[in-house]
Structure 1
Amino acid sequence: MTNSASSMGSFSEKDNRFRFVIAGFCFLLVLVNYLDRVVISFAIKPIELGFDIQDGAFGMLMSAFAVGTLATNGVSGFLLDRYGVKVVWSFALFLWSLFMILQGLVEVFWTFILLRVLMGMGEGANFPAMNRALVDWVHPKELGRVTSLVLLGVPLALLLGGLILAPAIISIGWRASFICLGIMGAILGVIFLIIYRQPSNKVLSNSSQEDVRGKVALRDMFLNPTLLATAWSFFAFGWVLFFGLTWLPGYLEETFDMKLESIGYFSTLPWAVSLLFMPLAGWCSDWIMRRTGSMRSARVHLIWICQLVAVMFFIPVMFVNTATSAVAFVSIAIGFSMAPNSPYYSICADLFPGRTGVATGFIVTFFSLSGVVCPTITGWLAEGEGGFTMAFTALCVVVGSAAMGMLFFARDEAAPTRAVTNAS
């Protein structure tokens, strides 16, 4: 039986109340993390003018950040499981906030690129740390819906970006905006460092068959079919997210000759739909888990069904003739793709409660890899004769293959365990 279905005791009343504080902090840190990530998208022209660079050099900035996160996703998981959330997450938060501030101060372009890489390395710990904290604090029967609420910080940051960050850049400049966001993160880091603690009854979130028999060897973790299928599916999830972040405005502008004001409005709709779909999916996942005790029914089926529905809505985008229809189909497709965000993290906790940090770092590494690959391949395909039709075709192939991978390879059983050697 998976961890989410295990019979566990009850949190102390103090811990029971404090878990809401932890969940609230996780939400705030996810929100600030993504505001830090997306602010550069609203400052393209000011940054290019400030450093006297062109679009190609600016693309290097986007890739530099993704390379940084890719470098630390997996490592942060090991550190979280060994040293705990308080030490690792607070250090990472101060690190990326410092580099955020420094970006607003430097005058040399190559120094700016280096700071983007270092900032990405700090932010690479964010989502493994979030999942480790929630697994430590939240009862398994409500983990899915709490995680989905925490992860609303992602689409909310994307939705608020055009409402808050763009006016801030216009009024105080991009450098001051970067510095303000960095200071905000540092302040949250101080508060987090002061109040965060491990739950007094931590055994609730860590007790499982895995802990009784010994920790899972790393080889067994990384070759586990369910985790591998989940990682590829999360790669496809990232492909859709990064497509929306980097190419959706360009698609609307180039295909339908839309004006910037209209693009800003229409490009927020997918994230508004995601804000609605994500908590619904988290609630459904936990409800099915309580009724069936089956990870495959509660997590796996929800993921592949949502991804398949997303493909079904992406396909018509290649044939529509109006911007309104395109935005409607894209918004629903991205909404369904984003909906099962929390079940990915829940699968890591279900399979490897004692090594949730490592498992989460593993799948998030695939997510970060999509951030490196998707923008480049999409741009290359969009420049061809087929335009964005080929780009959407590639997206559908990636997401469709991920859905089939979850359907056929994700099993409903805990990972096999063996004694962990020093080498692992």
Structure 2
Amino acid sequence: MSAASSTHPAGPDGTADRPAPAAFAAPSRGPHAARYVFFGLVFLMYVISYGDRAALSIALPALGKEFSLTPVEMGWVSSSFLWSYFLLNLPSTIVLDMVGARLVGSVAVALWSCAMLLGGMVQNISQFLMTRVLLGVGEAPTFGVGATVVRNWALPKERGSVMTVLLTGMQLGLAGGTIAGAYLIALFGWRLEFILLGVIGLVWAVVWWLVYRNPDAGVLRQPRTPISVGEVRALFRSRSFFGILAVQCTQNYLNFLVMSWMPLYLIHELQVDVTGSGTRTALCYLAAAAGAVVVGRVAERIVFRRHLHPPRRRFIVAACVTGAASIGLLPHFHTMTPILLVLSFSLCCLIAANGANTALLTDLVEDGSRIGAVTGVTLTFSNSLGLLAPIVTGYIVSYTGRFDIAWYMCAAALVVAGMLSIVLVERPIVMKSGA
């Protein structure tokens, strides 16, 4: 019996018998040794992407001093790449579904790497903002590429674990970009940091083009059509999609807040210099990445110990986003060890929640050929909220002199999102008019 037609008995959560969605079927080409190379390259893409993002957060004190920026202006600068990023999430992933991950991945990384190179050569803040907007253009399809590769090449039972491991590349990129950037800035200034990261990205783009192959390469097929308005409407009629989107929005907000402001928060709270802040930020990211892999793997074994039933992954999501809400404890600590422990634990849960939630979306979308566009829709809405995080935090710090309100807001939103995931995510996501 095929995976698409098999049924499962009711589990402890009371889930009634129903056919497993087609999305939970095996990849179209089956297991293939090369898939591990593809996963490794996607992992490196996330490392480079978030290393580039971390470059600004650690360079922000020096850049702000050079261009005489206020905290509010630094918040706007931190969010500038998101302006084009969230606007192009959907269009870029529609193109991804049509032409495949090989071309889109190479062009996207090459484009954002050129933006980093140019960012290290600017002469004023207006030019710098233009390079950040270009960076957002290049990074727009990043997670669509990753989700497409996982959908095409990962086995159903391993999608959550694979996605979590790949997403730890974000934290390693943030850690490496932060600590390397801190020392580069101390020795050579922030411009060299940007230029070196741009060169690394260009090398990756060439390797991806030479190595990766779309799963249907060499097979004659009908041209893929863009996602239709009717399909998007059907998507938003799905309770499951709304539950997944709620989690994505709240975790994205915290992710961008931490990514943009954590070095400055540590400088403010612990009275350390930029090198000390970079080292401690990197330690938090590394601890979070290692912990997320363990949490994700153990959670999958527990939740799927009897059978594979995709909606049960929502319990992993809910538990992890609730753990990430521990960020709300930060205002109660003012010394190094508890602050670093809270940040590390919260980020660990955040990564695990992101991996499980992305895998849940990949599992439940019945039409696998639309996974890139569906990811694009999800990111468009979640990033529209995420881009507010650096800006809102800038105003909070400017008017209160502290970060407390920002942490409390995130904690409350994450708890609510976890409850919505449990209540709403139950059925496959069908993208047909009238479904």
Q: TM-score range by the shorter chain?
A: 0.7 to 0.9
Amino acid at match of 1:74: L
Residues 1:393 and 1:142: Cα distance change in structure 2 (over 3 Å)? same
Instruction: Return the match for 1:105 from 99, 117, 121.
Output: 121
Amino acid at match of 1:327: L
CA drift of 1:384 comes to 4.9
Cα separation, 2, equivalents of 1:343 and 1:310: 13
Return 45-54 or 176-185, whichever deviates more: 45-54
Amino acid at match of 1:135: R
Amino acid at match of 1:333: S
Q: Give the paired residue count.
A: 404
Amino acid at match of 1:274: A
Residues 1:320 and 1:177: Cα distance change in structure 2 (over 3 Å)? closer
Cα separation, 1, equivalents of 2:290 and 2:218: 32
Residues 1:290 and 1:324: Cα distance change in structure 2 (over 3 Å)? closer
Determine if contact 2:71/2:398 at 8 Å carries over to the other structure: no
Partner of 2:374: 359
Unmatched runs of 5 consecutive residues or more in structure 1 = 204-213
Amino acid at match of 1:266: R
CA drift of 1:348 comes to 2.1
1:6 aligns with 2:22: no
Partner of 2:215: 199
Partner of 1:399: 414
CA drift of 1:401 comes to 1.5
Residues 1:175 and 1:195: Cα distance change in structure 2 (over 3 Å)? same
Determine if contact 1:48/1:58 at 8 Å carries over to the other structure: yes
Residues 1:315 and 1:7: Cα distance change in structure 2 (over 3 Å)? closer
CA drift of 1:276 comes to 2.0
Determine if contact 2:55/2:178 at 8 Å carries over to the other structure: no
Q: Deviations over 1:39-65 (max 9, x none)?
A: 112222443454455544443321211
1:324 aligns with 2:324: no
For 1:30-179, list aligned pairs within 5 A: 30-51=46-67, 53-179=69-195
Partner secondary structure for residue 392 of structure 1: helix
Amino acid at match of 2:53: R
- Length-normalised TM-score, structure 2: 0.84
1:379 aligns with 2:398: no
Return 240-249 or 49-58, whichever deviates more: 49-58
Amino acid at match of 2:86: L
Determine if contact 1:215/1:354 at 8 Å carries over to the other structure: no
Partner secondary structure for residue 104 of structure 2: helix
Instruction: Return the match for 1:294 from 306, 309, 326.
Output: 309
CA drift of 1:66 comes to 1.2
Residues 1:260 and 1:415: Cα distance change in structure 2 (over 3 Å)? closer
Determine if contact 2:179/2:278 at 8 Å carries over to the other structure: no
CA drift of 1:381 comes to 3.3
Cα separation, 1, equivalents of 2:413 and 2:381: 13
Cα separation, 2, equivalents of 1:321 and 1:21: 44
Instruction: Return the match for 2:428 from 393, 405, 414.
Output: 414
Return 254-263 or 140-149, whichever deviates more: 254-263
CA drift of 1:357 comes to 0.5
Cα separation, 2, equivalents of 1:388 and 1:49: 21
Unmatched runs of 5 consecutive residues or more in structure 2 = 1-19, 220-227
Q: Deviations over 1:231-257 (max 9, x none)?
A: 121111122222322333444444454
Amino acid at match of 1:82: M
Cα separation, 1, equivalents of 2:112 and 2:27: 37
Partner of 2:348: 335
Determine if contact 2:300/2:316 at 8 Å carries over to the other structure: no
Q: Deviations over 1:350-383 (max 9, x none)?
A: 1222211012112222342233112222333345
Cα separation, 1, equivalents of 2:136 and 2:431: 33
Identity of aligned pairs, percent?
A: 25
Determine if contact 1:33/1:123 at 8 Å carries over to the other structure: yes
Q: Deviations over 1:262-299 (max 9, x none)?
A: 544433343233212321243245534473222221x2
For 1:10-25, list aligned pairs within 5 A: 11=30, 16-25=32-41
Partner of 1:211: none
1:224 aligns with 2:238: yes
Amino acid at match of 1:101: L
Partner of 2:357: 344
Cα separation, 1, equivalents of 2:218 and 2:100: 12
Residues 1:4 and 1:278: Cα distance change in structure 2 (over 3 Å)? farther
Amino acid at match of 1:371: G
Partner of 1:276: 290
Determine if contact 1:143/1:286 at 8 Å carries over to the other structure: no
Residues 1:417 and 1:153: Cα distance change in structure 2 (over 3 Å)? closer
Partner of 1:235: 249
Cα separation, 2, equivalents of 1:69 and 1:404: 28
Q: Deviations over 1:151-202 (max 9, x none)?
A: 1111111222333222223334322322221121111111111221123699
Cα separation, 2, equivalents of 1:357 and 1:84: 9
Determine if contact 2:186/2:275 at 8 Å carries over to the other structure: no
Residues 1:141 and 1:169: Cα distance change in structure 2 (over 3 Å)? same
Residues 1:202 and 1:8: Cα distance change in structure 2 (over 3 Å)? farther
Partner secondary structure for residue 416 of structure 1: coil
